[in-house]
A and B are shown apart, each in its own frame.
Chain A
Amino acid sequence: MAATLRDVTTYDLKLAAPLAAGFVLFFVTPLAILLALSFQTDPQGGHYGLTQYVAFLGDSFSLGVLGSTLWLGVKVTVLTLLLGYPVAWLHQRSPGWARGLIMLLVLLPLLTSVVVRTFAWVVILGRQGIVNATLAWLGLIDTPLKLLYTEGGVVVALAQVQMPLMVLPIITALSRIDPNLADASSVLGAGHWRTFRKVILPLSLPGIVAGCLLTYAAAITAFITQSLIGGGQMLFMPMYIYQQASTLQNWPFAAAISIVFLVSVLLVVSIFNALGRLSRGYADA
């Protein structure tokens, strides 16, 4: 009887078969083909070798694109963390109505179309945009500053576009912290800064790591924001892949850069996952 009772609470693993089959056919197979194609020595095919990878790794331009993409992700993630953490903190200590409002403000950009969000930044940063108009009105500048098509512009726009991905996991982590711990810390004489540094921050590490992972992965792959705010002079990996594949029709090279990019992303993801396990052990201890 006990066995039959347990059986009714689980469903047959076979229910996952249709999606699993779909994923093997339309997700795993294409990625395998991408990998295979990256070893083709020329677009016409036939010969296989490491030509494309050698071309990528031996080319300072290509390596520069990879480096600036990965570095862009670091800058965006740091800025997003510095701005996003206090938002999560404020959400945690606000009364109910304010919590709802903060949540709405955080979720809205997450669900608004990326093109719309990026378009807003074009309007804000443009020569006749809100920043330049305000500075000119204040008499601080005579000629409009160049904000659009600069890396600073890309970093700020990406930080806004990806901030929800940082704030939401930190809110989760902060809500799991026993409020008595902060009280205990202050009763024992620690000030607010010290309590924050020694108690709250370490305990919210799992949320920080999860947020950084999501933000980083989203920032380096954010094709639309990178190309619209960065303009033609700044080239990042997603656009580089697209140019090689679509404009130049050089599929083997595009496949090779995709694989290099994929591996970089997976490497970063696994580093963050390892950090996440460490920080969870720390937070639970």
Chain B
Amino acid sequence: MSKINPGDRRIDLDALSFRVVMTAIALAALVLLVAPTVVVIWVSFTSGYSLKFPPPGYSLRWYGELWNAWQLQFAMMNSLKVAAWATGLSILLGVSASLGIARSPTLTAKVLDSLFLSPLVLPALAFGLSSLMFFSMIGVPVSPLTLVIGHTVVSVPFVVRNTVASLAQMNPSLLEASSSLGAGRWYGFRRVTLPLIRPGIMAGGFIAFMASFDNVPVSLFLRDAATDMLPIRMWQDLEGRLDVTVAALSGVLIVATIALMLVMERVAGLSKRLT
């Protein structure tokens, strides 16, 4: 390399400028990514009545207020229940469907795969509105049941995507081996396939749960007046006035999300499945 001495300086400057520019933008972007989370947690500890920044003083009063915020608690219970049902149904139907389509070379399987994933790109609001039209046309009033159905449709793609990916990575010889050793189909599924695809199912189920818990566009149309959902309750609170209780609740949700994320990273390798 010493032979191209004159060029060395230029290359060093070039290398330096490239690394400095890319690293600087990347760090700025990472700050931008984290800043909102940090700011919410910061202002949630304010002792004042507004979301003024910086807070006039610090206290835990708004976290204490959460014990009395029955509207938010009620909405949270509804959201958790609907998300649990939607996730359960998504896993049951989605895993079964993934098994059917993952290794099938037929056109039907390809069409079904695209169909099951299509709610991911379709505007959820248009789907929510169309579901409301459908249920009102067949004379079914909106209820927690219609809510669970709508949420399942928008959650199931996450389960299908992750389960199909795990099945595609599975070595089929393992099933041949288990079969030639005398295992039946059901036994082979339980003892070979399921353990291998379980992390994929868990990662998909986790994302499906979060998607349902966070959904607004479908809930807006498919909930009945008595079923208040947490993201809608928070959204409406924020449209009206900037409530500090919402900041405290956001703090709780952020901490719960980080905890769940770390658990899922450990048991299901979450980040590997998303890249």
Contacts and interface: CB of A to CB of B under 8 A. Distances in A.
Interface string B150-183: 1011001000100000000000100110111000
B226 interface: no
Given A5-B179, A23-B116, A124 B129 contact: no
A87 interface: yes
B53 to A, nearest CB: 5
A97 interface: no
Contacts of B25: 82-83, 86
Interface centre among B40, B94, B122, B125 (most CB of A within 10 A): B125
A169 B34 CA distance: 20
B225 interface: no
A278 interface: no
Contacts of B104: 10-11, 13
Interface string A103-130: 1111111111111111111111010111
B54 interface: yes
A16 B32 CA distance: 42
A111 B7 CA distance: 48
A223 interface: yes
B96 A19 contact: yes
A221 B120 CA distance: 11
Contact of B40 (A14, A105, A116): A116
A74 interface: no
Contacts of B115: 20, 23, 27-28
B238 A115 contact: yes
Interface string B1-26: 00010010011001101110011011
Given A5-B176, A26-B149, A265-B122, A133 B53 contact: yes
Contacts of A124: 35-36, 39
Interface residues of A, number: 101
Contact of A20 (B97, B126, B130): B97
A172 B186 CA distance: 35
Interface in B225-261: 231, 234-235, 238-239, 242, 246-247, 250, 253-254, 257-258, 260-261
A111 B239 contact: no
A11 B103 CA distance: 7
Contact of A160 (B33, B121, B123): B33
B271 interface: yes
B11 A108 contact: no
A271 to B, nearest CB: 13
A84 interface: yes
B109 interface: yes
Contact of A109 (B22, B33, B180, B185): B33
A262 B116 CA distance: 17
Contacts of A112: 37, 253-254, 257
A238 interface: yes
Contacts of A102: 30
Given A19-B116, A123-B43, A265-B122, A103 B7 contact: no
Contacts of B62: none
Contact of B130 (A107, A130, A192, A258): A258
A63 interface: no
A113 B39 contact: no
A241 B126 contact: yes
Contacts of B43: 123
Nearest to A112: B257
Contacts of A37: 133
Interface string B121-140: 11111110111111001000
A19 B254 contact: no
A284 interface: no
A30 B35 CA distance: 40
B86 interface: no
Given A106-B33, A126-B242, A86 B130 contact: no
A124 to B, nearest CB: 6
A228 B238 contact: yes
Contacts of A133: 53-54
B125 A172 contact: no
B51 interface: yes
Given A30-B133, A224-B216, A262-B123, A119 B234 contact: yes
Contacts of A27: 115, 118-119, 127, 153
Contacts of B133: 30, 33-34, 37, 251, 255
B39 A120 contact: yes
* 4 shortest interchain CB distances as A-B pairs: A120-B36, A16-B100, A15-B100, A192-B18
10 contacts: A13-B104, A16-B109, A113-B253, A115-B216, A120-B37, A123-B242, A168-B274, A228-B238, A258-B123, A258-B126
Given A83-B32, A108-B37, A242-B125, 7 more contacts: A109-B37, A116-B253, A120-B35, A122-B238, A124-B39, A169-B275, A238-B123
